[in-house]
Amino acid sequence: MNELEQKFPLGQVVATPGVLEDINRVEIQVALSRHVRGDWGELCKDDLQANEDALVEGARLLSKYRGSSGVVFWIITEWDRSVTTVLLPSEY
């Protein structure tokens, strides 16, 4: 991906055991690509706005996606952009 398309750095990318078991690697890569471009997935209006504010203010970023099996997973980038975690909501 072109760095100009990225809205922020991902830092170290990690994934939890649950997401690695339930979501295929290609879907995780696609979701990470969407996340870093500011396509936040299936968030409500308030959470979408919180992410847009976080891009300016330096707060945590959250995206919500659904795998082809229907399993929901999140991607969270920490406020300091040092770590991005891919996880199931139940693992939060």
For 23-62, the pLDDT digits (tens) are 999 999 999 999 999 999 999 999 999 999 999 999 999 9
Confidence (pTM): 0.94
pLDDT tens-digit readout, 62-72:
999 999 999 99
CB atoms under 10 Å from CB of 56, counted, come to 7
Burial status of residue 78 (CB atoms within 10 A of its CB: 0-12, 13-18, 19 or more): middle
- Taking the domains of the chain in order of start, what are their residue ranges? 6-87
Any bridge partners for residue 81, and if so which? none
Per-residue pLDDT at 2 exceeds 80: no
What would the two tokens of residue 70 be? 């229907």
Nearest one of 70, 64, 69, 68 to 87, comparing CA atoms: 64
